[in-house]
Structure 1
Amino acid sequence: MAGLKSLKKRRRAQVLMAAAGALLIAVVLIGYGFRDGINLYRSPTQISAAAPSPDEYFQLGGLVKDGSIVNRDGVEFDFVITDGAVEIPVSYVGHDPRPDLFTEGQGTIAKGYYRDGRFEAESLLAKHDETYMPREVVDTLKESGVYQDPNS
C-alpha cells in the first residue's frame, strides 16, 4: 500500500515537471516569434526627444510635408514626415514602388531605422481612400493640435 502511494506521488511530480517544461518551451517560442514582430510606433516629436538606437526597427508616422517629395534613382525617393511640431527627413530605400495614394499633406507610416538624423524607410503605409488616415497618426496630430477632420 505504501509503495502504491509513492508511485502516485512520483507520477504526479513527473506530470507537473513535464507541464512546467512544456510551458517554458511555449513561452520561449512565443518570445522568439515576437522579437521581430513587435514594431513600436513613434511620432517625430518622440524621436527628437529620445533618438532610438540605429539597429532598432520601428514605425514612424505623421504627415508628408508639402513640397518635400524628391525622386531619386529607381523607386527610391526622399520626403519629410512631420507631426506639426517636429520634422524628420526620410529616405525610402525599399524595393516596391511608391503607393499611388502616397501624396504630400497626407498621413503615412514608414517602417525602418533611424540612423544619423535620417529615417531609412524600408516600407510605407499610405491611406487607402480619401478620408482614411492611420489611427496612430491621427492621435499624434491631435496631441500636437494640428489635426483637421477631413469630414468637416
Structure 2
Amino acid sequence: MKTRHKRIALIIGGLAILGLVVALVLNAFQSNLVFFFSPTQVAAGEAPVGKSFRIGGMVREGSIKREPDGVTLRFVVTDTEKDIVVAYKGILPDLFKEGKGAVAQGKLGEDGIFIASEVLAKHDENYMPPEATKAIGDAHERAAANKAAAEASAKTLKP
C-alpha cells in the first residue's frame, strides 16, 4: 500500500470515528432535553403525549388530594386560564403549597392527566420559575384582551 493510500485511509477512519462521537453526543443530548409547556399549551395539544416535559404554574387552592393508596397525590396546576391535573407518587418539597408556584416534570397520559416523576417548588416568597411567570403573564394578557373584545362587541350590539 502506498503512503498516499495509508494517509487517505487514516483520514477516512478519523472522520468516521469523529462522526460516531458526534452522533452519540447528539443522541445523549436529545434524550435528556426537556421542554417546558404551560397548562394552556398542554390543553391545546401542543405538548407531546408519552414524552417527558415540564409543566408549571400555580397550584390551585383546594386542589391537593391524597389518593386512597396513601402514596399518590393529585393536584391542579393552572396558569389562570387552563388547569391540568397532576398525579405524583413521592415526597413533595417542603415549600410546596396551594396558591404557590410549582414545576412538575413527567409525561402526559392518554387520559389527559400529567404523571409527574419530579415536583419542584419555589425557593422563597418572591421566586417563581421564569417559564411559569411568563405563562401566567401570557394568560393574564389573553384574558384582558378577551374581556376588552367582549366589552367592545357589547357596545356595538347596544342600540
TM-score (norm 1): 0.81
Contact residue 68 and residue 104 of structure 1 kept, 8 A:
yes
Aligned partners of 1:19, 1:140: CA distance in 2, in Å? Answer: 47
Report how far residue 35 of structure 1 moved. Answer: 3.8
User: Which stretch shows the higher mean deviation, 68-77 or 41-50?
Assistant: 68-77
* RMSD of Structure 2 on Structure 1 (CA): 2.0
Contact residue 91 and residue 119 of structure 1 kept, 8 A:
yes
Report how far residue 129 of structure 1 moved. Answer: 1.6
Quick check: 1:122 aligned with 2:117?
Answer: yes
User: Which stretch shows the higher mean deviation, 41-50 or 27-36?
Assistant: 27-36
Unaligned runs of 5+ in 2: 142-159
Contact residue 39 and residue 79 of structure 2 kept, 8 A:
yes
Quick check: 1:58 aligned with 2:53?
Answer: yes
Report how far residue 40 of structure 1 moved. Answer: 1.2
Report how far residue 53 of structure 1 moved. Answer: 4.6
Contact residue 101 and residue 127 of structure 1 kept, 8 A:
yes
Aligned partners of 2:64, 2:31: CA distance in 1, in Å? Answer: 29
Cα offsets for 1:95-124 (capped at 9, x unmatched) = 3x1111001111111111111121111110
Match of residue 150 from structure 1: none
- 2:86 equivalent among 72, 87, 90: 90
User: Which stretch shows the higher mean deviation, 125-134 or 50-59?
Assistant: 50-59
Unaligned runs of 5+ in 1: 147-152
Report how far residue 48 of structure 1 moved. Answer: 1.3
1:41-52 aligned within 5 A: 41-50=36-45, 52=47
Residues matched between the structures, number: 139
What code does the residue aligned with 2:31 have?
D
Aligned partners of 2:71, 2:95: CA distance in 1, in Å? Answer: 15
Aligned partners of 2:33, 2:124: CA distance in 1, in Å? Answer: 26
Report how far residue 84 of structure 1 moved. Answer: 1.2
Q: Which runs of 4+ in 1 moved over 6 A?
A: none
User: Which stretch shows the higher mean deviation, 55-64 or 71-80?
Assistant: 71-80
Report how far residue 145 of structure 1 moved. Answer: 2.2
What code does the residue aligned with 1:36 have?
S
Cα offsets for 1:42-88 (capped at 9, x unmatched) = 11111111154542111111111111111234342111011111101
Aligned partners of 2:112, 2:63: CA distance in 1, in Å? Answer: 16
Match of residue 28 from structure 2: 33
SS of the residue 1:79 aligns to: strand
What code does the residue aligned with 2:96 have?
F
Match of residue 67 from structure 1: 62
What code does the residue aligned with 1:91 have?
A
